[in-house]
């Protein structure tokens, strides 16, 4: 039978329960602007009824607060994490594409780009038509040619800085991933410590979910949470949970344990114009590569890799046709011309997922100047069985990244200036300077010591065809392979002496006709009449590049807008469940205050009844 004062116990349970509800509401209001906070609810249920020795059998014993839980929906969390990776990827990609686009802008005299500079150079070349021997006209043209080469140098240096920025940001994001993994494991340990004792760690769970929110923008994240049960009695829940976080299917956090990633500088360049020290990302515990180029990868880390390494799937690819202990001979399917060669002189070639370091290569050319095979010199000799096994297998240098990133744009510039310089220099080789001496190459390349490559090992005619007599080009040859947008320049001899530039043939010079301009007339056709780059003229170079950037930017912007809209929709759905609504909390305050006041009124009523009973009738 319940106590005489059982009514007070019932009323006090209501006071305590609604006091907890008001405190929970106050906590919600306090965190209305707290990022990642989930609205909490005090859950109540009727207290267990007591048996009494009466006809009605049992009587209620009041109310009890069973728990205070955070309102979250794991389904919407998962959808948000899946979508946020795509948002992070295209946001980062758009940021870098806008910077790349800036380097190719041409606003005329205010901000001259390729078209303006290229046109000015040919305008100065036109001035040679009368008279070609004038020193000032020569100096003006050579000066304009230097501006032309400097344009490519400046753009290439800018892209190199962007590539380095991408590389540095990759390292920063990897550090962020490692830090997030450590925090998630530590929070999971705290959460389990609390919940194993019967509590619910709402705030800690919110902190952990917020870290996952931020992590999902960097890499694709999947989360699995399962209850810890008694191994002998699987249905017996022990209070804690197993919490597993995976990056692109690979475990990053396993409850209290976590793994980390490491940035390892590449031993060799992949592309000829790559900056030094580009990172490969590997797992610290196994040393295995973290494949940022996987099709399932997403997030800002993927975008940085695409911008840094994107080659439009035009990396060196081919098939092994012969092999011996020191060399591998490959029939190429890409880079079949000297103009398109972008791989580094020394590097790493992959065959059957195994890497082989090479110290140089030699290319064989056919009668049309096309490359029929490459022979790579290996740093470490193959054994006999291995040499036989790789014949007929596919080979590549670097990953095939089907995105137009910095290596692609650098390769396009190198291909253009090689094509243009070959034709321009071919005309120059057919003439003589004002001293009557045979003219050498006007556009040249320099090495890191400042020494010039004049391309003596490669002879190209005015149609752009390599002399079939020179059937081999090596990685160390004095050929147009050595020229790229970073080292493109005007020959130092012409810069120092304007007479060293051919406008006519040796016969005219010998006859004293220094103002003849027959070679100039032919070179003027290089501006628009000669097809040399991607099926178009030289002056169409910027249109080709700008078209590439514009298409890529528009595509990225469309995807970014779509994924942002999806993100906003999912966020609204999440907030409808877990967000703190000020109006709703204000309504709850009034509701719980009234309930609390009513329960307090009951206690006052009971107090007056017991006072009458004890003091009024007990004497």
Distance (Å, whole) CA 228 – CA 205: 17
pLDDT above 70: residue 468: no
pLDDT above 50: residue 1: no
pLDDT above 70: residue 532: yes
Average pLDDT over residues 147-170: 96
Query: Where does the pLDDT of residue 353 fall: very low under 50, low under 70, confident under 90, or very high at 90 and above?
Result: confident
Distance (Å, whole) CA 475 – CA 392: 24
**pLDDT at position 350, please?**
94
Residue 306: is it exposed, middle or buried by C-beta count within 10 angstroms (0-12/13-18/19+)? Answer: buried
Polymer length in residues for the chain: 619
Q: List, for residues 478-510, the tens digit of each pLDDT value.
A: 999 999 999 999 999 999 999 999 998 888 888
Q: List, for residues 113-139, the tens digit of each pLDDT value.
A: 999 999 999 999 998 877 877 888 899
Distance (Å, whole) CA 92 – CA 300: 6
Average pLDDT over residues 402-431: 93
Q: Nearest to residue 427, comparing CAs of 342, 337, 336, 532?
A: 532
Distance (Å, whole) CA 307 – CA 404: 7
pLDDT above 50: residue 588: yes
pLDDT above 60: residue 619: no
199-213, 339-353, 466-480, 483-497: least confidently modelled range? 466-480
| Helix, strand, coil % over all residues of the chain, rounded to 5 | 45, 20, 35
Residues pairing with 243 in the sheet:
225
Distance (Å, whole) CA 437 – CA 157: 35
- pLDDT-above-90 percentage for the chain: 67
Average pLDDT over residues 312-331: 94
Q: List, for residues 535-580, the tens digit of each pLDDT value.
A: 888 888 888 898 889 899 999 999 999 999 999 999 999 999 999 9
CA angle (557 as vertex; 555, 563 as ends), nearest 5? 105
Q: What does the DSSP 8-state code read for residue 334?
A: S
**pLDDT at position 9, please?**
86
250-254, 471-475, 476-480: least confidently modelled range? 471-475
Average pLDDT over residues 43-55: 84
Query: Domain segments of the chain: what residues?
Result: 1-71+581-619
Long-range pairs for 584-589: beta carbons < 8 A, 24 or more residues apart = 585/25, 585/28, 585/29, 585/32, 588/21, 588/25, 589/22, 589/25, 589/29
Instruction: Give the chain's mean pLDDT.
Output: 90
Residue 137: is it exposed, middle or buried by C-beta count within 10 angstroms (0-12/13-18/19+)? Answer: buried
- Helical segments of 50-134, H only: 74-103, 114-126
Q: What does the DSSP 8-state code read for residue 438?
A: B
Q: List, for residues 149-160, the tens digit of each pLDDT value.
A: 999 999 999 999
pLDDT above 80: residue 103: yes
Average pLDDT over residues 374-403: 92
- Number of other CB atoms surrounding residue 57 within 10 Å: 10
**pLDDT at position 38, please?**
93
What DSSP assignment string belongs to 494-548?
A: HHH-TT-S-SB-HHHHHTT-TT--HHHHHHGGGTTTSEEETTEEGGGHHHHHHHH
Query: Where does the pLDDT of residue 56 fall: very low under 50, low under 70, confident under 90, or very high at 90 and above?
Result: confident
- pLDDT-above-70 percentage for the chain: 98
pLDDT above 90: residue 345: yes
pLDDT above 80: residue 2: no
């Amino acid at each position: 039978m319940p106590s005489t004062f059982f009514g007070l116990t019932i009323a006090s349970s209501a006071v305590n329960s609604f006091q907890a509800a008001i405190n929970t509401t106050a906590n919600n209001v306090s965190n209305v602007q707290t990022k990642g906070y989930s609205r909490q609810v005090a859950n109540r249920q009727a207290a267990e009824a007591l048996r009494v020795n009466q006809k009605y059998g049992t009587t209620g014993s009041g109310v009890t607060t069973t728990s205070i839980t955070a309102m979250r929906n794991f389904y919407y969390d998962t959808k948000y994490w899946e979508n946020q990776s795509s948002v992070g990827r295209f946001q980062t990609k758009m940021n870098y594409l806008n910077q790349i686009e800036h380097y190719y802008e041409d606003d005329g005299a205010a901000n001259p780009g390729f078209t303006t500079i290229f046109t000015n150079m040919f305008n100065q070349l036109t001035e040679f038509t009368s008279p070609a021997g004038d020193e000032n006209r020569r100096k003006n043209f050579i000066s304009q040619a230097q501006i032309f080469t400097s344009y490519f140098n400046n753009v290439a240096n800018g892209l190199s800085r962007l590539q380095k920025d991408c590389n540095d940001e990759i390292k920063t994001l990897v550090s962020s991933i490692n830090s997030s993994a450590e925090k998630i494991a530590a929070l999971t340990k705290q959460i389990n410590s609390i919940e194993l004792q019967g509590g619910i760690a709402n705030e800690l769970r919110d902190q952990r979910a917020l870290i996952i929110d931020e992590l999902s923008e960097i890499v694709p994240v999947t989360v699995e949470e399962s209850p810890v049960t008694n191994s002998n009695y699987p249905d017996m829940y022990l209070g804690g949970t197993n919490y597993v976080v995976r990056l692109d299917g690979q475990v990053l956090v396993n409850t209290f344990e976590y793994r980390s990633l490491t940035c390892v500088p590449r031993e060799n360049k992949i592309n000829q114009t790559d900056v030094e020290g580009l990172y490969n990302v590997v797992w610290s515990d196994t040393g295995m590569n973290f494949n940022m180029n996987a099709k399932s990868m997403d997030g800002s880390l993927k975008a940085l890799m695409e911008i840094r390494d994107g080659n439009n799937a035009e990396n060196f690819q081919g098939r092994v046709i012969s092999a011996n202990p020191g060399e591998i001979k490959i029939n190429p399917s890409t880079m079949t011309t000297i103009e398109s060669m972008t791989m580094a002189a020394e590097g790493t070639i992959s065959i059957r997922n195994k890497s082989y370091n090479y110290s140089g290569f030699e290319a064989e050319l056919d009668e049309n100047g096309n490359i029929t095979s490459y022979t790579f010199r290996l740093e470490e000799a193959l054994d006999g069985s291995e040499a036989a096994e790789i014949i007929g297998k596919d080979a590549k240098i670097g990953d095939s990244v089907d995105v137009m990133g910095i290596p692609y744009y650098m390769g396009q510039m190198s291909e253009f200036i090689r094509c243009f310089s070959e034709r321009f220099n071919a005309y120059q080789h057919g003439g003589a300077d004002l001293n009557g001496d045979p003219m050498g190459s006007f556009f040249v390349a320099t090495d890191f010591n400042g020494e010039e490559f004049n391309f003596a090992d490669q002879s190209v005619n005015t149609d752009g065809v390599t002399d079939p007599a020179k059937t081999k080009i090596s990685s160390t040859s004095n050929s147009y392979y050595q020229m790229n947008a970073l080292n493109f320049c005007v020959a130092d001899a012409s810069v120092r002496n304007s007479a060293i530039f051919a406008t006519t043939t040796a016969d005219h010079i010998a006859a004293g006709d220094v103002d003849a301009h027959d070679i100039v007339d032919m070179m003027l056709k290089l501006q628009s009449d000669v097809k040399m780059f991607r099926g178009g003229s030289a002056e169409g170079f910027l249109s080709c590049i700008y078209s590439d950037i514009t298409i890529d930017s528009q595509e990225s912007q469309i995807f970014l807008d779509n994924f942002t809209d999806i993100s906003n929709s999912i966020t609204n759905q999440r907030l409808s469940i877990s967000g703190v609504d000020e109006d709703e909390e204000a309504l709850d305050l009034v509701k719980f205050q009234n309930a609390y006041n009513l329960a307090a009124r009951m206690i006052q009523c009971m107090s007056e009844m017991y006072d009458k009973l004890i003091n009024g009738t007990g004497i």
